[in-house]
Structure 1
Amino acid sequence: MEVSDYINKAMNFAENAAKLSQKMSQGLVENARELGFPGGGGDSGAQYFDTSEEKMRNIKRQLDSKNDREKLDGLKRLIAMISKGRDVSEFFPDVVKNVVSQNIEVRKLVYIYLLRYAEQEPDLALLSINSFQKDLSDKNQIIRAMALRVMSGIRVPVISPIVLLGIKKCVTDSSPYVRKTAAHAIPKCYSLDDTQKDALIEIVATLLKDRSNITIGSTIMAFNEVCPNRFDLIHPCFRKLCAVLADCDEWGQMAILGLMLRYGRTQFLNPNPHGEDQTRVAPKSSTVVKSRAFYSDSDSSDADQNGAVIGDDVFEMDEDHELLLKSCIPLLQSRNSGVVLSVARLFYHLAPASQAEKVAKPLVRILRNHREQQYVVLNNIATMSLRRPYLFESFLQQFYVQSTEPVFIRDIKLTILANIATDSNIHVLLNELQQYVKSPNKDFVAASIQAIARCATIVPSAADRCLRLLMKLLRSSNELVVAESVLVVTKLLKDTASENKNSVIALAKLLDTIKVPTARANILWLIGQHAETLPQVGPDVLRQAVKNFANETNNTKLQIITLSSKLISLNPTHTTLNLLNQYVLNLARYDLSYDVRDRARFLRALTIPTEDKPGLDELKTHVQHILLNDKSPAVIENQTDDAFDYTIGSLSLLASQPLPGYEPLPDYPEEQPDASVRDVEELDGWSGSRTTMMATGFGSDSFEARYRGDRGGGFSSNASVALSGVEAMGNAYSSSMATKKKNGDYDLDAFYDDEDDDDEEDDSSEDDSSDDVSSEEDSEGDDSDEESSQADGSSVDESGSDEEEHDVVTSNGPSSNSPIVELK
């Protein structure tokens, strides 16, 4: 046997061994998958992100498998690829087949997939409409909610009536999570078919009466999309919204605050009728008289009780207006920057100017955040500080620029520092700005120079010091620094050049060294504007400027011929000036720029004698008034001046222009609207006037079961309870009155007994109340089971849907004022 035969046999043996090993490994993987073990090594979740071609070919086989574990594995792979941004819409027909699966986990993943691709494949998604309608009656609240989400996500106008029916059914669902999903589906249905607007408005009106804090935020979002100006729907629940504002989720709080701002601008009078919000001076703190409520603090002053106030101007604020402002104050401690900014917007546009200072410290607090959020907050602070600098005057050091900050943060901080400059802090501020000028960043130095100039215009008493500081910068070796200094010095010397002749002469000497066209043009304009007070400077500057006329830019050429004409208007008989004027006009006559040629033609007719023409002689008599007017040069203004007309916290304020979807705030009414529209009777689940929303507990420790179970009617285990009157007044009253009952009602006589008998009565009443409570709990439990089964249309799975429902519905926990229940 030759060597080649041995080699061929060895290769065949190796090939057969490899095939056998591959078959054995595939068999082990299949067995492990059937047993529920992860198919890959290492990380058990990494297998779902494997996008190799072999795995992709197996997904269809897994989706068509009869084994739920196989389907679940294939769906997990699809969801993992969706999270990575990969398009897997090719599997849509295979996924739709599993929408009727009895496995809850499989159906959840199918719904997630359908939510992603329902708009791309609307025809195939219609095949599962019947399954969605059946799932609306499922015992699991998650399935009911996801079925409505997918059904409302199918963008086919034909099914809009079916979506509307599904929304109406879910609005009356016992789960707040499902009702929240129904509120989210309202804008989708409206955008799909706007002819359903009237029916959707009725649904929104129903949801506004909902007792759960979970649904109210989504309801307000739906209200803003469908009927944002139907304030007649808000009147009955205005005080309820104020009461539950602190208990809503963060996004719901921002939606409610935005609605309340628009509502307040149309239903309340201007709290600053004398323009306190339009001046830079801090208003008096006692210009607002607040109506005294029936329940008020006993230790208040006599002046407040009588409605008296120190000052000449008196304004009486509506009670609901005051209630809205008080309800927003706790939200200033929120960790969400959007919530704090929404409260600041409401206080800035709706509160008295004397109360707006409450938002300054929270706004400064949220500056310690990511730089993108910091930039948004700083822009709003810069706009607010234009009219109300006293709000942030005490936080001057918080706006100092740091070396590690990006350029856009530095610039907006410089704007704020200039806005809040006052006589008391100008010296500290100028010392800080003087250090910024030493920065190696040229753009930052230029912005600092502009900030110094703005300080001089805002605080006139510090104009001389700012001017001296800027004149020092003219000797800098940096051309950009010198150019910016010239621009701002020209602006400052516009009206005071006669008092600062040395400064103007120093600028004239810089014409030989300054090469920046804008700076040269501004110096020539300033010298021509004050040529009468500086008769020796103007002609010499003109003589030097004419030498290099052909090499100047267009703006500089225009200022040279204008300077020549100004000097001729002041000295019409001066021979040398007439020759210089005629020479420069001849040069401009043949210039390449038509602007320069037109300017030269106009000034030639005014300054050079010609034959008599009708009207020209009369025009020449006003030549000084025409040329020596008080027109200021072009100087860069504050960037936030254009953004002041936009609402605080809006995207249009950042862009300084109205963006699509922006609506300006409505003006205040001239007369007080009818306030009685908000005086409504106590409805089912909440009170129109004094309401405290509390979530019920679980089991026998429920507040309803202990204190109100004997008043008839069963209560849902997940519903929140509205307390009014004595019940909402806190721990002291509720804990004491709960143990003093007579025939199922509160015994006021026992409550007012002597203190010596309290201990004995408490001991005896606890035994009685425990018996009453146990019987009430049993009766209430039976009633609640019957109600929940009727609402779902099927039997309730205690271990399934109810437990998941509690996980979603649970609120912020017991209030600090709620009575403490001892578990036995």
Structure 2
Amino acid sequence: MSGGGDAKFFARGKVAELRIELNSDKKDKNHVRKKIALKKIVANMTMSNNDMAALFPDVVQCMQIPQLEIKKMCFLFLVNYGRMKPELALQGLPILLSDIEDNNPLVRALALRTLSYIHVRQFVEATVGPLRIRLRDPDPYVRKTAAFCVAKLYDHDRDLVEGSDLIDKLNNLLQDDNPTVVTSALAALLDIWERDGGNGGIRLVIDKANAGKFIQILPDCSEWGQTYILEALMSYVPQETAEASIMAERICPRLQHSNSAVVLTCIRVILYLMNYIASPQEISALCRKLSPPLVTLLAKGPEVQYLALRNALLILQRRPEVLRNDIRVFFCKYNDPIYVKVTKLELIFMLATEENIKEVLTELREYATEIDVHFVRKSVRAIGKLAIKIEPAARECIQTLLDLVSTKVSYIVQEATVVIRNIFRKYPNQYESIISTLCENLDSLDEPEAKAAMIWVIGQYADRIDNSDELLDDFLYGWADEPVEVQLALLTATVKLFIQRPTKGQDLVPKVLKWATEETDNPDLRDRGYMYWRLLSADPAAAKSIVMGEKPPITAETEKLDPATLEEMCLNVGTLATVYLKPVNQVFRVARPKKLEDSPALQKHLLPTVQAMAEMQAMISKQVVSSQQKAGTATDSDVAAAVDSADDYFASVPPGNMGIGGGVVNSNPFSGVMQSPSDLIENNYGAPTSTPFVRNSGIDCSLGNMGQPSNNFSQNNQGKDCTICTAKV
């Protein structure tokens, strides 16, 4: 019914009229009118807007007509309505069992397939006996159909299949002389194994002899048959590195196949076998062979391109030498869909090196002038990430960003502000000359992330920006309307301003702390406000070391997959899970997890998980050594004494005074510690009403003593007024 002339059948038909057509013209030996009536029934059934189940008895009668075309349509009707009308479907069961014994192999296969498709108990039980016989049918087409029927029957009733010998007979088909039968049996076994999920003890294991046979028949199979064989080879565990090398070389010709599924599955198998190959030279040679097929896939449609690109992202993390010199093929074309362009950007970033950075920056600069705003933002962000990734090219990347900022395009300025903040985190106290350029474009910032980034820059470099207090004050005008992300940034930046320039920050800090602790319902903001207030009250020197302390620079490696996920995803190259770049069980909950099987040939020391564990252990050992060096000659008795002292202290503190970090103590979060911001404002920083905890011996810290110079900050701040804490030595 695929021809253009069949369109006339897709008209809403009446059951009564169709019944008359099915039962009329009994003298027509060719059953022309019955065929037309059945085509109309199938068309109406396909449109799903007209129930044809009332014609069940009439269609069952037509099943007895010995014409393949009529049987196909009748069996299709039976499969469609069999589960809805099981009592009527049983009328066709004897006819199906009879047709399974037909002399025509096409009729036998069609009847067997129909019988296995109907999920009715009587049909399922009736399928087992004939299926055993058809698995040994002399015709390969029937054997192929029978193999798939075993998998279908397993889906209906796995206990019935496991209790019979059907799986053993299916295993025997792997030794069949016909490649199509072998691939069908493999496909059925793979489906059964996948549906079992590793819970029922069913497992596909392929030995060296069978693996060699499967590879030998690869050229004789259809493209889907080749996919099934390659998928099955993932169940073969090499016991020697030579086995893995030979097998990888034998399947390499499949990389030139025209079908993308065959190519991607072949890549997956080669990546799998690399884990069992010891020679670095052989691995490098295989990696070079993986590059051309991936590049070839980029000439196909955008959907296939996207799948190939997502898999390339995964492969590059595991085997960086693949595609190392092919960065130009990932440059975006004007007619690429946005999802392809964005993925290509990620690959360009991964493949960028010090040698090709000039070419990459030129390309990214062009992308940043395109019409699509989302793509432009991604391009600007990629330039900033390259400055972090490639340190020698940082200045060139920053100059490119400044050139883009000079265009005064709002979304470009905002993205550039965000990435420049990250550049400052990577290179602290460097490239500070660009701060003035950012300050000139403050009016362009209206997005929370960009505002938070600019506020961070102002707070971090408050001692270098002359009017930093005025800039922060401008941002504070809209405090109540800002999102939490911006409010948190303002709170931290204000505290940084006060620590670096107490005189200029003295008016802002109490106001911001009051807003953060008394006029917000966000727990994160309130807790941070309490923390800063207590910290500034108790120990200004500690506040400076904590808030303005040296922090580790950021890296560009944060977007990489964790080692366990990477190891698992490499075993799923070419599947839908790689599109999401997430563990398979997070995308498909019932999917069978895949893992590398142990063998003498497995190169465990090169696995991502093992390498990550070794790095972690080395880091822990380094930290332990460092801690021991700092501890000096501390003994176990010293530690025990310190613990006893802490226990005595906490035992002496009344329960009501144990508030920590913004909890309410005696209905006042500042009770017994310090006065609240509102009290300080009302008292105009007058005489203190309470005394905070004193952490530094010999230093008298009290709230509000204005006019006294603070000695608790660095020399740069000596002689300046500190309106929150005043220290007298």
TM over 0.5: yes
Give yes or no for contact 1:119–1:153 (8 Å, CA) kept in 2.
no
Deviations 1:583-622 (A, max 9, x none): 33234344334343333222111213xxxxxxx55xx553
Out of 558, 569, 574, which is 1:649 matched to? 574
Out of 224, 249, 272, which is 1:326 matched to? 249
2:527 & 2:504 partners in 1: Cα distance? Answer: 24
- 1:204 aligned onto 2:170: yes
Shift of 1:501: 1.6
Shift of 1:371: 1.9
C-alpha change, 1:43 and 1:580, in structure 2 (3 Å) is closer
Give yes or no for contact 1:180–1:219 (8 Å, CA) kept in 2.
yes
1:48 alignment partner in structure 2? 9
Deviations 1:161-201 (A, max 9, x none): 32111211111111111001001101121122222215222
C-alpha change, 1:71 and 1:121, in structure 2 (3 Å) is same
- 1:606 aligned onto 2:535: yes
Amino acid at match of 1:577: G
Q: How does 1:551-570 map to 2 (within 5 A)?
A: 552-570=482-500
1:536 & 1:670 partners in 2: Cα distance? Answer: 66
- 1:249 aligned onto 2:222: yes
Deviations 1:689-710 (A, max 9, x none): xxxxxxxxxxxxxxxxxxxxxx
Q: How does 1:80-91 map to 2 (within 5 A)?
A: 80-84=43-47, 87=50, 88-91=52-55
2:267 alignment partner in structure 1? 344
C-alpha change, 1:209 and 1:141, in structure 2 (3 Å) is same
- 1:447 aligned onto 2:378: yes
Shift of 1:386: 3.3
Give yes or no for contact 1:246–1:330 (8 Å, CA) kept in 2.
no
2:102 & 2:467 partners in 1: Cα distance? Answer: 92
Q: Considering only CA atoms, is the larger Rg found in Structure 1 or Structure 2?
A: 1
1:211 & 1:512 partners in 2: Cα distance? Answer: 76
2:41 & 2:57 partners in 1: Cα distance? Answer: 13
2:213 alignment partner in structure 1? 240
- 1:268 aligned onto 2:193: no
Deviations 1:283-335 (A, max 9, x none): xxxxxxxxxxxxxxxxxxxxxxxxxxxxxxxxx7232x234323322222222
Once the two structures are aligned, what percentage of the paired residues are identical? Answer: 27
Amino acid at match of 2:80: R
Amino acid at match of 1:626: I
Amino acid at match of 2:62: N
C-alpha change, 1:383 and 1:548, in structure 2 (3 Å) is same
Give yes or no for contact 1:497–1:504 (8 Å, CA) kept in 2.
no
1:583 & 1:43 partners in 2: Cα distance? Answer: 78
| SS of the residue 1:528 aligns to | helix
Shift of 1:539: 4.6
1:800 alignment partner in structure 2? none
Give yes or no for contact 2:345–2:379 (8 Å, CA) kept in 1.
yes
2:489 & 2:355 partners in 1: Cα distance? Answer: 40
Q: How does 1:245-394 map to 2 (within 5 A)?
A: 245-261=218-234, 263-264=235-236, 267-268=237-238, 317-319=241-243, 321-351=244-274, 353-354=283-284, 355-394=286-325
2:527 & 2:9 partners in 1: Cα distance? Answer: 75
Amino acid at match of 1:669: D
Out of 177, 191, 194, which is 2:155 matched to? 191
C-alpha change, 1:538 and 1:130, in structure 2 (3 Å) is same
| SS of the residue 2:425 aligns to | coil
Deviations 1:100-128 (A, max 9, x none): 22334322332233233333333322222
Q: How does 1:753-764 map to 2 (within 5 A)?
A: none
Give yes or no for contact 1:63–1:70 (8 Å, CA) kept in 2.
yes
Deviations 1:207-245 (A, max 9, x none): 111111111222112111324653446555222111112
Deviations 1:420-469 (A, max 9, x none): 11222221111111111111221111011122123223332222111111
Give yes or no for contact 1:568–1:607 (8 Å, CA) kept in 2.
no
Give yes or no for contact 1:479–1:514 (8 Å, CA) kept in 2.
yes
C-alpha change, 1:539 and 1:241, in structure 2 (3 Å) is same
C-alpha change, 1:170 and 1:227, in structure 2 (3 Å) is same
Amino acid at match of 1:217: T
Between 1:625-634 and 1:556-565, the stretch displaced more is 625-634
1:337 & 1:385 partners in 2: Cα distance? Answer: 19
| SS of the residue 1:438 aligns to | coil
Give yes or no for contact 1:197–1:226 (8 Å, CA) kept in 2.
no
Out of 493, 502, 508, which is 1:580 matched to? 508
Deviations 1:519-577 (A, max 9, x none): 12112223433456x37565554455445545544322322221232244446xx4443
Give yes or no for contact 1:176–1:212 (8 Å, CA) kept in 2.
yes
- 1:214 aligned onto 2:180: yes
Shift of 1:203: 1.8
Give yes or no for contact 2:238–2:599 (8 Å, CA) kept in 1.
no
1:623 alignment partner in structure 2? 543
Give yes or no for contact 2:187–2:228 (8 Å, CA) kept in 1.
yes
C-alpha change, 1:393 and 1:495, in structure 2 (3 Å) is closer
Shift of 1:640: 7.4
| SS of the residue 1:502 aligns to | helix
1:409 & 1:322 partners in 2: Cα distance? Answer: 34
1:469 & 1:46 partners in 2: Cα distance? Answer: 60
C-alpha change, 1:640 and 1:115, in structure 2 (3 Å) is farther
Amino acid at match of 2:9: Y
Runs of 4+ in 1 over 6 A off after TM superposition: 631-640
1:94 alignment partner in structure 2? 58
Shift of 1:47: 4.6
- Higher RCO (CA 8 Å, separation ≥ 6 residues): 1
Give yes or no for contact 1:268–1:668 (8 Å, CA) kept in 2.
no
1:122 & 1:79 partners in 2: Cα distance? Answer: 19
Shift of 1:44: 5.8
2:189 alignment partner in structure 1? 223
| SS of the residue 1:394 aligns to | coil
C-alpha change, 1:213 and 1:189, in structure 2 (3 Å) is same
Out of 368, 375, 380, which is 1:437 matched to? 368
C-alpha change, 1:633 and 1:548, in structure 2 (3 Å) is farther
C-alpha change, 1:247 and 1:639, in structure 2 (3 Å) is farther
C-alpha change, 1:90 and 1:115, in structure 2 (3 Å) is same
1:250 & 1:424 partners in 2: Cα distance? Answer: 41
1:602 & 1:577 partners in 2: Cα distance? Answer: 18
Q: How does 1:382-781 map to 2 (within 5 A)?
A: 382-531=313-462, 534=464, 536=466, 538-539=468-469, 541-546=471-476, 549-550=479-480, 552-570=482-500, 574-594=502-522, 595-608=524-537, 621-629=541-549, 641=561, 644=566, 646=569, 647-657=572-582, 658-660=586-588, 661-669=590-598, 671-672=600-601
Give yes or no for contact 2:354–2:392 (8 Å, CA) kept in 1.
yes
Amino acid at match of 2:331: Y
1:226 & 1:397 partners in 2: Cα distance? Answer: 43
Shift of 1:384: 1.9
2:125 alignment partner in structure 1? 161
Give yes or no for contact 2:150–2:167 (8 Å, CA) kept in 1.
no
1:556 & 1:157 partners in 2: Cα distance? Answer: 63
Amino acid at match of 1:650: T
| SS of the residue 1:489 aligns to | helix
1:63 alignment partner in structure 2? 22
1:102 & 1:170 partners in 2: Cα distance? Answer: 20
Normalising by structure 2, what TM-score?
0.72
1:137 alignment partner in structure 2? 101
1:566 & 1:640 partners in 2: Cα distance? Answer: 32
2:348 & 2:296 partners in 1: Cα distance? Answer: 17
Normalising by structure 1, what TM-score?
0.64
Shift of 1:348: 2.5
1:635 & 1:483 partners in 2: Cα distance? Answer: 21
2:412 & 2:104 partners in 1: Cα distance? Answer: 70
1:641 & 1:178 partners in 2: Cα distance? Answer: 46
